[in-house]
Structure 1
Amino acid sequence: MAQDPFLKQVLSLGRYLRPHKRLLLFSFTLSAVSTGMGMVQPLFAKYLIDHVLIGGQHRLLFPLVGAVLGLLVVGFGIRVSNSYLYTRFSARVLFRMREEMFSHLQKVPLNFYSKRKIGDIYTRIASDMADIQALVTETIPNFLFNTLTCLITAGILLWLNWVMALLSFAFLPFAMILISKIRPRLVTLARSVAETNSDIAHFLFESLSGMSLVRAFGAERLECQKLQEKHSGVLNLLLRYQVLGAFSGSVPLAYTILNTLVVFGYGGLLVIRGDLSIGSLVAFTIYQGRLFGPLQGLMDGYLSMQKGKVALQRVREILDIPPAFQDQGRLAPEKDAFRGIIAFENVSFAYVQEEPVLRNLSFTIPAGKVTAVVGPSGVGKTTVCHLALRLFDPDRGRITLDGVDLRQYKLDWIRRHFALVSQDTFLFHTSILENIRFARPEATLEEITEAARAACIDEFIESLPERYHTGVGDRGVRLSGGQKQRISIARAVLMDPWVLILDEATAFLDPGSEERLKNTLHSLMQGKTVVVVSHRPSAIAWADKVVALGPDGVLYEGSVSGFFQSRIVEDLEQNRVEVAGT
């Protein structure tokens, strides 16, 4: 995919600055005033030497010193105020950019996360976004002010002595040629460093997340060695980047040294000959010395721009990913108009092109009934659950709800009234209470307690010292598999869904707990549509209908009794049919 020009990408970021344009303009004004005050200070030195110390106008000594002191105090106040204003609006810009990217990540296809490293995604949200924010609010403005300072300083130097100024500028083209030679290498190295840091971030995230496995296999030393190897690789890149950066940064220093020779050589000769006053020489020296700072800033700004350019490209790669689907639905029926018949009509779907998971799949999930979905591993049972919840749209065919294409319903309506309890239970690193009311933040403690009771987890929670305020650890590490599943079920029950999808939701429960939970859910979901994915007869037995899937589509669709009399159930009992979802 062709990249937009860098300038076009930068200009597109202007929308983040528009809400703060007044504050930004005021900040720029303060910076301009501060720069202007700095520009006139050497002229005070010139006047002080030529007219007061040498010219004998001693009565002007204290007024001039007081004026310089006043300029310093006012300049200090302006810099402090400007720093506050800059921090205020730059933080807001960063937050908005990061929030928009996070919002976009909520909409990209789910298989994006299976193809990308979480550490790399995190680095783009955190580090790359910070680099872009610095580019927009700091690097580019500073680059412009440094350019303006250089031009004004150059004008003053020409005014003080144009010959000496031209001699000072003679070395500038050589410096620019050197920078242009270094530019391509710095860009390449900056991108390599960013990608390597992303890889290290992902490695740390993955290794720390799997610490129990690492210790179980005694692989602590191996993991440390892997990190050392990755550090060795990034160190090599950093050293090359820093050496080139230092070489680039040393150009202004060499320029200043050569200029110093010009000032004290040719300038001293002019003073001796009486063609230049001592005050003018001192002022010229001060201005020339101040030229080093902006030049160094321009070089550093160039390096920062290359870093920001890489960050823009890396963030753009994610922002250019189209949403999984467009929410164009308009239907949001009330409960009395809702039945809950879900039909798959010749549905085909593939996560990766040319590797279809479902092919022309057709079956019906009746309203107000419990439908069990069974089949061997890899036939797409979990994919069926995700399609019914509209986490994906089918590639061909359609899924209907009460005879209407599911895409015609508002997406937020589906999310409010469809609930999924997945086989891969995910809990956030917060309290049990916050995990249960994740989908309903406004739920009361009484409602949360009722949901926990329905999920047969209330007794366990009440036995904990902090009860519902007990932390579950990262991804629920402090809880057993069965406890995590029941909290996940309580989370779904709290939504009071019209359609409940249970994808191996009781796999980690003992028979007694599973039976109690089944009875409770059967009572709570009376008259509502329930889909159960499971391979155990105890979980299938409470269903009203069974849909058995195979590699070529539906193997069986009918009653539970008919299913248990078929040959498919024999395969199930012999563990040749599994229910681990795809």
Structure 2
Amino acid sequence: MKKNAFLKKLLPFAKYLGPHKKVLIISMILSFMSTALGIVQPLFTKVIIDKVLIGHDYQFLFVLLGALVALLLISFLTRVGNNYIYTKYSSRILFKMREDLFDHIHRLPLTYFSKKKIGDIYSRIASDISNIQALITDTIPICLYDIITCIITIAILLWLNWKMALLSFLFLPVGMKILLFIRSGIIKLSEELAESNAEIAHFLVESVGGSTVIRSLGAEKLECNKLREKHSRLLKILLRYQVLGGVSGSIPTLYKVVNTIILFGYGGVLVMKGLLSIGDLVAFSMYQGRIFGYLQGLMGSYLDIQKSKVSISRVNEIIEVKPVNQSGGDIFIPVESIRGEIIFDHVQFDYEEDEGLFADLSFTIPSGKITAIVGPSGVGKSTICFLMMGLIRQNSGVIMLDGIDITRIETECLRNAIAFVPQDVFLFHTTILENLMFSTPDATKSEVVEACKAACIHEFIESLPNKYDTIVGDRGIRLSGGQKQRIGIARAILSNPKILILDEATAFLDASCERRLKDTIRRMMKGRTVIIISHRLSAIQDVEKIISIKEGRVVFEGSPICFFNNKDHEILSYFPLKQECDQSFIIPRRHNSPITKFELKAFGSNGNNVGDGKQ
């Protein structure tokens, strides 16, 4: 039953052999040729001893030596050619498997990454996939060759002297029983070994990525101690694994010792009685030694298969996660015809069951306007952005772009219409120019420069020694938070979106730079939809509509005037209101004085207040 389960898990990976059938067949033929040439060599030794040295047929000696040299040369060339072919097709299989897994990971729900360690995922892509590739292109074929050659060698041993051969096989059942006894321990330790290595990989990735924080806190020694403890645990597992591996590996050695006693004890007696020739004894000894090698190979293959079982399970855990539907719908909307109105209609979403992040979320983001989404930390403002872009799917309800359900719109079309700039802008370890052109590789240099000028980052880039060819470092570590944000905004502007989402994208900018940037965005995005998410009043002073979210529902939707003159002070509790806000932003009025129609018209809003219908 367990064997069938293993084969069932392995079967999906067999498809990678399909495109390489011809090369695989050629490689197998060359391997069998090389094996066959190796099998006949001891028979040449037998003939040389019995017919040439003892039989004094010296003329036949040169013929045999010539044939032996030819066989060795053919065997050498066959092995070299096969190694080249094997490396070529096995590498392609490995790369294809890794590429497919990599593609699958990029289509997984974002919630998957919040639950898994990045180092563990990396370990599965790198180490576990490599183990599976080695299993199907290396371990299984070698195991097959070892079994076939072992059977042929056993047949030759029986042909040379069946009694002595049977005596030498008596220990085999004992060795197999020992192997089966330690099997469960090897499997368990293989799992622990894989998990421990994955944990260390994650720790290293996380620790190196957080090097600045670690140094600022003076925690270098603490991190080194953590790594030392993890290595200590790994060493204990390795030692236990090596003990069991050593026991399984010593079985062939014990078999060889027993067979040597049989060979020179029983075989020597037969030679002295004239019942066995010296050539037969030497050939028997050589074949018997090869049995030892084949058994060692089979033992090693057995251990590799146990490791691979763990790797297959770990990779299948990822493959079995259902990816997000990336194809989207079949409706194509030309980007230039998109207006940018977004409607959430009774949307329900949660990352975990029974969590209920959004129970019934409904609001409208008008097209061609600047809208702010505000609310306490952790209320789900960034999640709303992910839902808009189709990066995650709602559990129920409808999200519409220009009146069309986004699930019916082609994903590429949807993504091309929206540009998203988060607070923590991710930059790749390459040049500033390549980071800017990441999603628009066909952009011209002048377009890049214009986008950078709009994002108020061009002058800084030009001040660098290598200008736009400056390497930013891993995740942009050589740049400040504000510089990374401006590069992220420039990258978004370069994509010429119909909808621009700024999720705390100006949090690290000084007031002067923020003002210039807001003026530029307002000018360049005129007639387009801009969505601003922020906790700072300075970031939302010029917006035309505010949507306030609290506890999974909309508590306010309307104009800034209505928002900041709202009687419900709880709505404003997450803003440092009076200190930060420009006083001209709040329109002074007497207590309970009504808002005029002129004021509402000036802000382009109907002043609908979900939190207070009287306002």
Matched, 1:184 2:184: yes
Q: Which amino acid aligns with 2:299?
A: M
Residue 131 of structure 2 corresponds to residue 140 of structure 1: no
State the shift of 1:335 in Å.
3.9
The residue aligned with 2:599 is none
Distance 1:336 1:112 in 2: 34
Deviation of the 1:548 alpha carbon: 1.2
In structure 2, what is the Cα distance between the partners aligned to 1:532 and 1:4? 55
Q: How far did residue 228 of structure 1 move?
A: 1.0
Q: Note the C-alpha offset of 1:12.
A: 2.3
**Residue matched to 2:500:** 500
* 1:484-523 deviation per Cα after TM superposition (whole angstroms, max 9, x unaligned): 0000001111110111111111111111111111111111
Structure 2 length as normaliser, TM-score? 0.91
Aligned to 2:491: 491
Structure 2 letter corresponding to 1:571: S
Output one character per residue of 1:75-132: Cα deviation in whole Å (capped at 9) or x when no partner. 1111111111111111111100000000010011112111111111111111111111
- Other-structure match for 2:364: 364
Please tell me whether the aligned partners of residues 190 and 310 of structure 2 are also in contact (alpha carbons under 8 angstroms): yes
> In the alignment, which residue of structure 2 is the partner of 1:241?
241
Q: Do the aligned partners of 1:369 and 1:528 also contact (CA within 8 Å) in 2?
A: yes
Within 5 Å, give how 1:251-330 maps onto structure 2.
251-325=251-325, 327-330=327-330
SS of residue paired to 2:535: coil
The residue that corresponds to 2:457 in the other structure is: 457
Q: How does 1:18-167 map to 2 (within 5 A)?
A: 18-167=18-167
Deviations 1:51-81 (A, max 9, x none): 1111121101111111111111111111111
Return the offset for 1:562: 2.0
Count of matched residue pairs: 577
* Contact 1:325–1:392, Cα closer than 8 Å, also in 2: no
1-side partners of 2:455 and 2:153: how far apart? Answer: 75
Q: Larger deviation: 188-197 or 547-556?
A: 547-556
Q: Hey, what does 1:405 align to over in structure 2?
A: 405
User: What are the ranges of 5 or more consecutive residues in structure 2 without an aligned counterpart?
Assistant: 581-615
The 5 Å alignment of 1:192-271 reads: 192-271=192-271
Once the two structures are TM-superposed, the CA of residue 336 in structure 1 deviates from its matched residue by 5.1
Aligned 1:370-389 pairs, distance under 5 A: 370-389=370-389
Post-superposition shift, 1:346? 0.7
**Structure 1 residues 514 and 172, CA, compared in 2 at 3 Å: closer, same or farther?**
same
Q: Secondary structure at the match of 1:548?
A: strand
Residue 327 of structure 1: how far off its partner (Å): 2.9
User: Structure 1, residues 184-239: CA drift from partner, whole Å, max 9, x if none?
Assistant: 10000001001001111111111111111111121111111111111111100000
What is the distance in 1 between the residues matched to 2:105 and 2:521? 34
C-alpha spacing 1:255/1:572, structure 2 compared with 1 (3 Å):
closer
Distance (whole Å) between structure 2 residues aligned to residue 258 and residue 219 of structure 1:
58
**Offset of 1:328 from its aligned partner?**
3.9
- 1:334 aligned onto 2:328: no
AA in 1 matched with 2:283: A
- Counterpart code for 1:235: L
Tell whether the 8 Å contact from 2:380 to 2:552 is kept in structure 1 after alignment: no
Counterpart residue identity of residue 221, structure 1 = K
Letter in 1 for 2:212: S
Letter of the structure 2 residue corresponding to residue 128 of structure 1: D
Q: Could you tell me how far apart the structure 1 residues matched to 2:512 and 2:425 are?
A: 21
Q: In structure 1, how many angstroms separate the alpha carbons of the residues matched to 2:164 and 2:70?
A: 32
Could you tell me which residue of structure 2 aligns to residue 558 of structure 1? 558
CA contact (8 A) 2:334 2:413 kept: no
Contact 2:537 2:577 in 1 (8 A): no
Partner Cα distance (2:260, 2:85) in 1: 37
- 8 Å CA contact 1:332–1:413 kept in 2: the answer is yes
Q: Aligned-pair distance for 1:574?
A: 3.3
Asked if structure 2 preserves the Cα contact closer than 8 Å seen for 1:377 and 1:577, the reply is: no
Residue number among 570, 573, 577 corresponding to 1:571 in the alignment: 573
Report the alpha carbon displacement of residue 543 of structure 1 after superposing the two structures with TM. 1.2
Alpha-carbon distance in 2 for matches of 1:215, 1:335: 47
Deviation of the 1:577 alpha carbon: 13
1-structure distance, mates of 2:500, 2:4: 46
Partner AA of 2:511 in structure 1: P
SS at match of 1:153: helix
SS at match of 2:357: strand
Cα 1:58/1:577, change in 2 over 3 Å: farther
> Once the 2 structures are TM-superposed, how far is the Cα of residue 564 of structure 1 from its aligned partner?
2.5
d(CA) in 1 for partners of 2:158, 2:386: 72
Query: What's the CA shift for 1:410?
Result: 0.8
Q: Name the SS for the 1:472 alignment partner.
A: coil
Aligned residue for 1:539, secondary structure, equals helix
Q: Show CA shifts across 1:526-559 (max 9, x none).
A: 1111111123222212211111112251121112
User: 1:4: how far off?
Assistant: 7.1
Cα gap change, 1:467 to 1:189, in 2 (>3 Å): same
In 2, Cα distance between equivalents of 1:576 and 1:118: 42
What's the offset of the Cα at 1:424? 2.0
| Pair 1:447 & 2:434 matched | no
Supply the distance in 2 between the matched residues of 1:459 and 1:318 (Cα, whole angstroms): 45
Q: Alpha-carbon deviation of 1:244?
A: 0.3
TM-score, normalised relative to structure 1: 0.97
Describe the SS at the equivalent of 1:107. Answer: coil
In structure 2, the CA distance between the partners of 1:576 and 1:357, relative to structure 1 (3 Å rule), is: farther
Instruction: Tell me, in whole angstroms, the C-alpha distance in 2 between the residues paired with 1:299 and 1:152.
Output: 18
Displacement of 1:135:
0.5
